Structures are given as structure tokens and as C-alpha cells.
Amino acid sequence: MISVRFRGGCKNYYFDPRGAMVKMGDQVIVETAQGPEFATCTEGNHEVEDSAIVRPLCAMLRMATESDCRTVEYNKKKEREAFDICERKIAAHGLEMKLVNVSASFDGNKIIFYFTADGRVDFRELVRDLASVFRARIELRQIGVRDEAKMIGGLGICGRPFCCSQFLDGFLPVSIKMAKTQNLSLNPTKISGTCGRLMCCLKYEQNAYEDAAKRMPKAESFVQTPDGPGNVKSVDLLRETMKVSLDSAGPNEPLRTYRSCEIKVLRNGKGSREGIEIPERPARYVEERTEEGFEAPIFATPFYMDHPLEDAPVREKFGQEGGENRSRRRHRGGRRSQGGKPAGGGPSRPAEERQADK
């Protein structure tokens, strides 16, 4: 099989190369349910599991030629013109819809207009007008705000291009429960993407948070620590640490931080302590050290230093001498203003004395 990707898409599709050798980056013409289409190969000839293939399997027609590339450029120009014409038609009919994108088929027999709207839109008259202008099959598809962001593209709050327009094959199901599990702010402006929906990246680390939550106690759990029993006040799932309020702590004493291996959970979550037997205190976590002990890291010489580190005593010696000379000149000459006159406004010294100082 070969894997190809169509223009403006992130999903790979499998096609039968029919014995032809195709390399990554080659442009090919493939047969689809909508007719022949222009695509770019993302992975050359390779074997694929039978379960990953969707039947019936379409085949590659041929390698793209210069004439095919010129056809693609002509279709792009045609799409830009169709976009402007459709916007004028929408305004003329007074329809409450926003045109997002226009896609023309490779053979030019079909043009698809993608739009967004708050509700259902009666665009039958609009289709008739567009069909009379372009003399082709016209199809209008209503899409959601996520699909709009994928087609248009842009930069997210992280500073990188949208995941949906870069590499995501499809939209992942994201819920507000994921933000709660990851201890994120529930402010909609902080956890929503440019499209106005919950950010797709909330799904990326959800499995890691769920796995860590199984090993960590809940807030207000009753635990035994190396310093005595107490209640868990907050949990850091990434570091797998928690802050505990000890029973023996004073009112103004700060919370203690412990690792998950340093505590024993006596009651997970809120509840009463009655009937809970307090076991022995667990051992405190100690970081492993080498037999030689801790060694200070060796830092490289900063790029802005003129001399290596071994020349530091020499520089210090010259620096002290230079400092004494400078202090002697300041004591003898005092503060000076522009023109060589003292800052206090007194008479200036002769030029011979100033030259001798230099």
C-alpha cells in the first residue's frame, strides 16, 4: 500500500499502487468515490495489516504530471473567485451564514462550499444561483466551529499552530472532567481554544493523570506520615507529592510536603476517624547518594569571559592595582565634569598636571 494525504487534510489514506514504486513526497492521482483526486504521498510502498484497510480499496491511477499540477493551480484560482462570488450571493439573499472555505474537485465538475451557521439555513435559492454561474454541481456543507478552525488554521495560546490543522486525524472527545482531574482552572477562557471549545491538548496527558490519581490519596484523606498522622490538603499529581496538615502542628506552622512512598493512607477521602487504628510511622524517603558523596557540577567558562578560569588570580591582581590607581586619581582630581573642570565649579588644573595623571 501507499499512504497519501489530500490538500488541506491531516489524515492518511491507503491506496493500491498497482505495482508502481512511489516515494514519499511524490504527487499522484488516485481514484476516490467522488472521482479522481490530486494527492501527495506521505509514505511509500509498505505493508499494512488487513484490519487497517477499509473495503473496497481504491487504487492509484497514475503519477501526477506537469499538466496535473497546472490543473491544481487553476482550480485554486477558481476557488478564490468562487469564494468572492458566493459571499456576494449570500449577502444578496440575506442569509445568516458564514462562508469558511471552497473546494473544487480535480476534474472541476463539483464545487463544495463550507459554511457555519447558528441554525438551519434554507439555501436552495443560493444553490440555484451558484449553479447558473459555475455550470457545475454545487454542494453546500454546514460545519462546526472546530472544523472551521481546522480549515482556516492559526496559532493557539501555546504559540504553536493548531493541532487539528497540523497532525490530528480527527477530533478527540474532551470533557470538563479532564480539566478537573488535571487541577486546571475552570475558567472557560483558559481551557478553551480559539474555536471556543475545550482544547484538544487536554486529552494528551489525561491517561498519565488518571494513572497517577490511582496511586495518590484524595484531598482531606487521613494519612500516617514519618512525622505523625494528619490530613491531606492538596495533591500534586505530576510530582506525586502532597501537602499534609499534621495533627501535632501548631496553628501557624506551614504544611509539610511528603512523597507518595512516605505515607500510609488510613482513610481515603473525607470521613470520620473513629475506629481507625494508627500504625507505626513509615520510613522517610532518602535520596540515594554515591559513596564519594555529592560532587559539585563543573561549569564551563561563560562565553563573555575574556580569559579562562585559571587566569582568575592574575586578573584579580591586576584588578586590585587598577582599582588603587583609579581611587588615587579620584582622590587627587575629585569628580570632574565635561571640559576637565571640577564638578564643584572651582578653577581648572593646568594641562601639564592633567597630562601627567594620564
Classify the phi-psi angles of 184: left when phi > 0, otherwise alpha if psi is within -120 to 50, otherwise beta. Answer: beta
pLDDT tens, position by position, 253-306: 899 999 988 889 999 988 888 888 888 888 888 876 655 555 555 444 444 444
What mean pLDDT is predicted for residues 168-176? 87
pLDDT tens, position by position, 199-242: 999 999 899 999 988 888 988 999 999 999 999 999 988 888 99
List 20's β-bridge partners, or say none: none
- Please give the pLDDT value at position 43: 87
Mean pLDDT of the chain: 81
- Please give the pLDDT value at position 353: 55
Query: Which set of grid coordinates corresponds to residue 357?
Result: 595623571
- Please give the pLDDT value at position 284: 87
H helix intervals, 135-258? 145-152, 163-166, 176-181, 188-191, 206-215
- Please give the pLDDT value at position 336: 46
pLDDT tens, position by position, 111-163: 999 999 988 888 888 999 998 888 889 999 999 999 999 888 899 888 899 99
What mean pLDDT is predicted for residues 333-354? 49
pLDDT tens, position by position, 60-91: 888 999 999 999 999 999 999 999 999 999 99
Q: Name the band, by pLDDT with cuts 50, 70 and 90, for residue 57.
A: confident
> How close are the terminal C-alpha atoms of the chain, in Å?
83
What mean pLDDT is predicted for residues 179-196? 89
Would the pLDDT of 244 be above 90? yes
- Please give the pLDDT value at position 344: 46
List 41's β-bridge partners, or say none: 4
d(CA 70, CA 64): 10
Would the pLDDT of 341 be above 60? no
- Please give the pLDDT value at position 274: 86
Tell me how far CA of residue 171 lies from CA of 10, 19, 147, 168, in angstroms: 11, 34, 9, 7
Whether 140 and 123 have beta carbons less than 8 Å apart is answered as: yes
Beta strands in the chain (DSSP E): 2-6, 13-15, 27-32, 35-43, 60-63, 98-104, 110-116, 137-142, 222-225, 228-236, 241-246, 256-259, 264-267
* Torsion sign across C-alpha atoms 203, 205, 210, 211: positive
Beta strands in 133-250 (DSSP E): 137-142, 222-225, 228-236, 241-246
333 membership: H or E segment, kind and range: helix 312-333
Q: Would you report the helix, strand and coil content of the chain in percent, each value rounded to 5?
A: 30, 25, 45
CB neighbour burial string for 52-68, b if at least 16 within 10 angstroms, e if fewer: eeeeeeeebeeebeeeb
The DSSP code for 335 is: -
Report the Cα 340 to chain-centroid distance in Å: 59
Whether 149 and 193 have beta carbons less than 8 Å apart is answered as: yes
Of 80, 151, 79, the C-alpha closest to 115 is 151
Whether 230 and 245 have beta carbons less than 8 Å apart is answered as: yes
SS3 state of residue 296 = coil
> How many residues are there in the chain?
358
Query: Which set of grid coordinates corresponds to residue 320?
Result: 586590585
* Torsion sign across C-alpha atoms 276, 278, 279, 281: positive
Would the pLDDT of 352 be above 80? no
* Torsion sign across C-alpha atoms 63, 69, 74, 75: positive
- Go through the domains of the chain in sequence order and give each one's CATH number: 2-64 (no CATH), 71-143 (3.30.300), 150-203 (no CATH), 216-267 (2.30.30.30)
Query: Which set of grid coordinates corresponds to residue 63?
Result: 503519477
List 265's β-bridge partners, or say none: 223
- Please give the pLDDT value at position 293: 55
